[in-house]
Structure 1
Amino acid sequence: MMTEFAFSVAEKVIEKIGSLAYQEICSAGGISSDLKRLELTISTIQAVLLDAEEKQVKNRGLTVWLEQLKDVFYDAVDVLDEFECEALRRQVVKTHGSAPGQVLSSFNPLGFSHKMSHKINGIRERLEEIAKHRAQFLLVERLDDKRIVQREMTHSFVHDSDVIGRDDDKEKIIDLLMHPGDDGTVPVISIVGIGGLGKTTLAQWVYNDERVAKNFASRIWVCVSEEFTVLKLAKEILKSVGGEISENMSMDKVQASLRSYLKEKRFFIVLDDVWNEDRNKWIGLKKLLIEGAKGSKIVVTTRSHKVAKVMAPGPIHDLIGLPEDDCLFLFLKWAFVEGEEKQYPKLVEIGKQIVKKCSGVPLAVRTLGSLLYSKTEERDWISIRDNEIWNLEQKEDDILPALRLSYNQLPSYLKQCFALLLIVSKGF
């Protein structure tokens, strides 16, 4: 998370440079060009920091490079704070004046400009020197802090044996699906919970239930993730109901074809992993789905209550963590060949302690269970129990990407706050 510091501090420096107070002082002191060159240097470096965020995990040298940048950025903030002090000094003099012999009256504007010009150029030269080394990291520019994070596409199938501890949740969702809406609209049922709780798995289980299959003429599964584009989603839905699509197909042709396919049909759509908070986009998609027969339903899985409320006023099913017994069952299933755990009662006891650290999150349980699969030495299990989860080697489909997606959604200033928590000692 060192990049979060660097990115947000760089953002702060650029914001300070652009303020009216600095512009006024610079124009009067003749150092405007120095600050503009510094701003350009920082902007150029900032453009690659988002790419560095993803790559520093596997590159210690990149982490060191980011630490060096951060230090210089903070020095730049200190220099710009001196401008703020000077702006306040001039305001005081302008408003109240200064009596002969006071400190304020002895201030030398030319001396201040010369000193600040020297400091600004020094910082810019240090940044340029550090920036020379970025080529070795093969960084690319990314200009958008809220960039799209690619997640593996989900699908609609799940084995019954792969779902543990969600029977009550399943029945509640199915009960909602079986009751037709009263207002003529297509009701939206939202499944809400943090990453890794099993929202997608629950939706898959509901999707494949025989009662659901018999109740709806068409069942449609769409993995939405962060990119909520009406045309893209409409094409996915149209393709699922048997319609023909092409890459250059216009929005008008897509909507006409989709409405025709759904007309008077009772459909069930799952929109999995929705992040969109723009109500206008949702309304744009919803207008294409009104042709369905009475009883049509939509299930949305999301990590955000705000997203659920944006989608539509409808039932929200809050998914909570699994009970400890279910977590232990899931953990042992991933850690051992079936029945093998009976041969290792001491490992099972250690496993119980590991499971407690997972706070009922199935993805965390599965990740740690998989990590210990085929390991029968107590020291391996104790090592997992006594070490932090973030020290473990992570795979692309393990818990780290699931949590990182939530982390990446934070604005840069909140990422910095999150990183600052690392300063607090464990158990403080």
Structure 2
Amino acid sequence: MAEALLDVVLKNLNSHIQKELATFWNVNKEIEKLSSILTTIKSVLEDAEQKQITNQALKVWLQKLKDTACVLDDILDECSIKSSQLGYEGKNFTPSNQVNTCSLTFLNPKKMLFHYKVGKKVKEIRERLDQIAEERQKFHLQEGIVERGTEVVESRQTSSIIAQPRVYGRDEDREKIVEFLLRHASDCDELSVYSIVGIGGVGKTTLAQLVFNDEGVSRHFDLLIWICVSKNFRGRRILHSIIESASKQSYNVLDLDPTQKQIQELLQSKRYLLVLDDVWNEDQEKWDKLKSILVFGSKGSSILVTTRLRNVASIMGTIPTHHLSSLSEDDCWSLFKQRAFGPYREENVEFVAINKEIVKKCGGLPLAAKTLGGLLRFKNEEKDWLHVKESDLEFTGG
């Protein structure tokens, strides 16, 4: 989430807004510093997003970063709007005319005041980001844990297989989605796109797996296809994965036209369910291009999307979004016990109070409960459990 937000802010800094701000007194230097700081912080965000699950201090740091980035984005929007009102719109700001533009500003009190306010705000934000960047060092975050090329980071890979013996607290969510796919979507002439939205670790992928493996769903659809998209939304890679999943054969053709024809042939007259898991793409054009190729299925074909971002759901979805909430404390406790004690080991009653305090730190997030339960599974003595509780265990997932 934080990384997606920083992408937006960096894009704004490098857009026409930057050209406008570059004409302000010394603001261009602050912009360069801001861009550098944000780029530096962004390089460790992948690691931070993962480690915040077991570190409350890191979660607070990420929230501080997101809050500051939002303020900066608001300043940039305000600058863009105000610049248009003051007559900057449409002007071509270049180094050659920057001096003349700034000189003329002295003749316009409104522009002078606007320049001063913007410069002050940008400097304050830069100082706050400086502090945030310095604070990151105490977390010992690794740089460069991001996707490169067409690869997806191993830890972000998902599949349709449900990895845990029992899923708690998602029966109602599963029934609602299955109901839509089997009844309402069947009557739709257009391709239905159903989006599951929720914060990281809340169980979006697990819910999609429950739906994907539902017996009624298996009988209803001719084709079931699962694609892990992640942050690298490449339409051609997705199409190749669909072909390989549907045909059970590898596919290496690079040209779009034969790929599109192959998709049409595979989906023609078939009612299919396609799961696009962990989608981050907010580019409407990319989605429209992909969707135009996926309309070849028969009536009732559906796409199930999981994403952290509401914008993604708004862009892709054709029906109201399914917002996935946290687990109840009882369900979170049951999941924690499943991981901490296993199917055959009896729960140690001496540590129940400690366990429940730890579960409260999960914030209702299944990923947090599973991770903490796994960490504590082989703790045999109370002092070991207390040590985990009192160290940096503050667990409120991502």
Contact 1:332 1:341 in 2 (8 A): no
**1:255 alignment partner in structure 2:** 260
Aligned letter for 1:348? V
Q: 1:249 to 1:351 in 2, by over 3 A?
A: same
Could you tell me which residue of structure 2 aligns to residue 322 of structure 1? 327
1:352 aligns with 2:392: no
TM-score, normalisation: structure 2: 0.64
Are 1:214 and 2:219 matched, yes or no? yes
1: CA distance between counterparts of 2:349 and 2:314? 47
Distance 1:266 1:388, change over 3 A: same
What are the Cα deviations for residues 45-95 of structure 1, in whole angstroms up to 9, with x where unaligned?
98776546678999xxxxxxxxxxxxxxxxxxxxxxxxxxxx9x9889878
**Number of residues paired by the alignment?**
303
- Structure 1: stretches of 5+ with no match in the other structure: 24-34, 59-86, 97-137, 393-398, 404-428
Alpha-carbon distance in 2 for matches of 1:363, 1:239: 30
- Give me the TM-score of the superposition, normalised by structure 1: 0.60
> Per the alignment, do residues 377 and 284 of structure 1 end up closer, same or farther by CA in structure 2, a change over 3 Å counting?
same
Q: Deviations over 1:355-403 (max 9, x none)?
A: 112111011111111111111221222233334436x9xxxxxx87xx3
Alpha-carbon distance in structure 1 between the residues aligned to 2:306 and 2:267: 22
In 2 relative to 1, CA 45–209 (structure 1 residues): closer, same or farther, beyond 3 Å? closer
* Higher mean displacement: 45-54 or 213-222: 45-54
* Equivalent-residue separation in structure 2 for 1:16 and 1:296 (angstroms): 46
Distance 1:369 1:283, change over 3 A: same
Structure 2 residue aligned with 1:395: none
* Aligned match of 1:122: none
Q: Is 1:299 matched with 2:304?
A: yes
Alignment map for 1:47-58 (pairs within 5 Å):
50-51=42-43
CA contact (8 A) 1:243 1:261 kept: no
> Residue in 2 aligned with 1:192?
197
Residue identity in the other structure for 1:227:
N
Aligned position for 2:270: 265
Q: Hey, what's the Cα distance between the residues in 1 that align with 2:39 and 2:163?
A: 44
Which secondary structure state, in structure 2, belongs to the residue aligned with residue 171 of structure 1?
helix
Counterpart of 2:182 in structure 1 is 178
Matched residue type, 1:331: F
- Give 1:382's aligned amino acid: L
Name the counterpart of 2:317: 312
Change in CA separation of 1:324 and 1:255 when aligned onto 2, cut-off 3 Å: same
Structure with the greater relative contact order (CA < 8 A, sep ≥ 6): 1 or 2? 2
The answer on 1:155 being equivalent to 2:159 is yes
- Offset of residue 270 of structure 1: 0.7
Give the structure 1 partner of residue 237 of structure 2.
232
**Offset at residue 307 of structure 1 (A):** 1.0
Amino acid at match of 1:195: G
**For 1:204 and 1:155, how far apart are their aligned partners in 2?**
8
Cα contact 2:224–2:273 (8 A) shared by 1: yes
- Spell out, residue by residue over 1:183-216, the C-alpha distance to the aligned partner (whole angstroms, 9 max, x if none): 4111111111111111111111111111111111
Q: CA RMSD in A?
A: 4.3
CA deviation profile, 1:257-313 (whole Å, cap 9, x unmatched): 101110010111111111111122111111112121111111111112221111032
Paired with 2:392 and 2:143, the residues of 1 have a C-alpha distance of: 30
Give me the identity figure in percent: 38
Structure 1 residues 190 and 53, CA gap change in structure 2 (3 angstroms):
closer
Alignment-mate amino acid for residue 182 of structure 2: M
Match of 1:332 in 2: 337
Query: Which one has the largest radius of gyration?
Result: 1
The answer for the alignment partner of 1:424 in structure 2 is none
* Alignment CA distance shift 1:201-1:41 (3 Å): closer
Kept in 1, the 8 Å contact 2:187–2:300? The answer is no
Counting only pairs closer than 5 Å after superposition, residues 278-289 of structure 1 correspond to structure 2 as 278-289=283-294
Distance in structure 1 (CA, Å) of the matches to 2:303 and 2:108: 64
CA deviation string 1:87-107 (max 9, x = no partner): 9x98898789xxxxxxxxxxx
Cα distance change on mapping 1:352 and 1:54 into 2, 3 Å: closer
Aligned 1:12-411 pairs, distance under 5 A: 19-21=22-24, 50-51=42-43, 150=153, 151-158=155-162, 161-179=165-183, 180-242=185-247, 246-342=251-347, 344-389=348-393, 403=398
Contact 2:188 2:300 in 1 (8 A): no
Q: What's the CA shift string for 1:228-270, capped at 9, x where partnerless? A: 1211111111111107554452111110110111001011111
Provide the rounded CA distance (Å) in 2 between the counterparts of 1:316 and 1:45: 35
**Residues 335 and 284 of structure 1: is their aligned pair in 2 closer, same or farther, counting only changes over 3 Å?**
same
Given the superposition, is the C-alpha separation of residues 241 and 95 from structure 1 closer, same or farther in structure 2, using an over 3 Å criterion?
A: closer
**Residue deviations 1:112-153, cap 9 Å, x none?**
xxxxxxxxxxxxxxxxxxxxxxxxxx988x9x9xx9983521
Between the aligned partners of 2:305 and 2:202, the Cα distance in structure 1 is 15
